[in-house]
Amino acid sequence: MKRTWLLFSQTVTILLAAYFVVATLKPQWLDRGAPMGGVSVIEAPAGSVQRGASPIGGFAAAAKQASAAVVSINTSKAAAQNPNADDPWFKFFFGDQGSGEPQVGLGSGVIVSASGYILTNNHVVEGADEIEVILNDTRKAKAQVIGTDPDTDLAILKIDLDKLPVIVLGNSDALQVGEPVLAIGNPFGVGQTVTGGIVSALGRNQLGINTFENFIQTDAAINPGNSGGALVDVNGNLMGINTAIYSRSGGSMGIGFAIPVSTAKQVLEGIVRDGQVTRGWIGVEPQDLNPELAATFGLKPDATKTGGVIIIGVLQNGPAAQAGIQPGDVITAVNGKAVGNVNQLLTAVAALKPGTPAPLTVLRKDSQTEIAVTPGKRQRPKLQR
């Protein structure tokens, strides 16, 4: 009996010693095939990176996955010729002016479809006579402009090549401040470059860049030539189209702005399907609500605490007027989505489908009500010549 007990105790001691050695030197051995009972574990699919995590080797996997679909864009535009250049007297006094050098530009774009559709910024291709797209695998192709949307500064190009790499569109609405992101593009024409940072802020607006502003702000370095490039998450999924920077020197100062992919998808679908982006319009003149305006229209002093946008003018016979919207009304939500400033109201109304009634939550004096408004079609502003 003594011998049996001694043998048992020695065996247990050896097994415990072996366990502690393995746990210290090779803990991963203990995880293989281990049951998950009692521990909630969410595993990322094979070949992917967990959202918000920094994988071993940094962001190499995400960069490799997304970079293949990011392209460089070279544009050229014929030089403007003086209208009197062919006049003999003009030539006598000023000489032969010649045709001048063409204007060239550079930017970036993102392949979003195997059919060859590319998302980029409108300002990258605006006015260009020729557009050349250079893929990351060095292939080149002439690009055709399918459509543009100056209100969001987006454009859709198309190239005819086979076996195109396509980026995965992510969910920019789920982004959070502090999440790591990568900016991929062709800054200064030096070639494709990847920079890293975090999401610094969301919903940036009133910057005077576009009509519809809802920018993702990031400190990932964005420089001239990055415009139209990709802002991706740690999975390599597209979160936004890099568009602008805040800079006093022309270079990156750690404040860059990207158009959310949720906005880009709407523009892409509208242009490919209809040839243009169709937006809603209700015919009101809104202003951000403040105590002075609240007092002017007879609202209670605490009306500003509820948020919303005050209507100071209504277009006669417009959609809002026909639905019963009046000056002094405060719109707090459009189609169930809260609005806190003029930009948010503009964006929410633009997202409405013309001809389809939508509910607006309205605060009038002391009461709140819902008014169904049938939006019209927002007209594109005429080009200034």
Task: Find out whether 257 and 293 touch, Cβ atoms under 8 Å.
Answer: no
Q: Which string of DSSP letters, residue by residue, matches 28-83?
A: HHHHTT---TTS---PPPTT---TT---TTTTHHHHHHHHTTEEEEEEEEPPPPPT
Is 123 labeled as catalytic in the residue annotation? yes
108 near 186, Cβ under 8 Å?
A: yes
What is the distance between the alpha carbons of residues 233 and 211, in angstroms, rounded to a whole number? 26
173 is catalytic: no
Q: Out of 67, 72, 108, 123, which one is annotated catalytic?
A: 123
Closest CA to 302 of 294, 312, 310, 313: 294
What b/e readout covers 116-139, taking b as 16+ CB neighbours within 10 angstroms?
bbbbbbbbbbeebeebbbbbbeee
Selecting among 227, 233, 252, 329, the annotated active-site residue is 227
Q: Which of 72, 108, 151, 153 is catalytic?
A: 153
CB 198 within 8 A of CB 180: yes
CA–CA distance, 135 with 157 (Å, rounded to integer)? 14
The half-sphere exposure of 294 on its side-chain side, counting CA atoms within 13 A, is 18
Contact at 8 Å (CB) between 134 and 74?
Answer: yes
Is residue 99 among the annotated active site residues?
no
Residue 36 makes CB contacts below 8 A (sequence gap 6+) with none
Q: From residue 259, how far is each of 41, 215, 243 by CA, in Å?
A: 33, 5, 7
Q: Which residues carry out catalysis?
A: 123, 153, 227
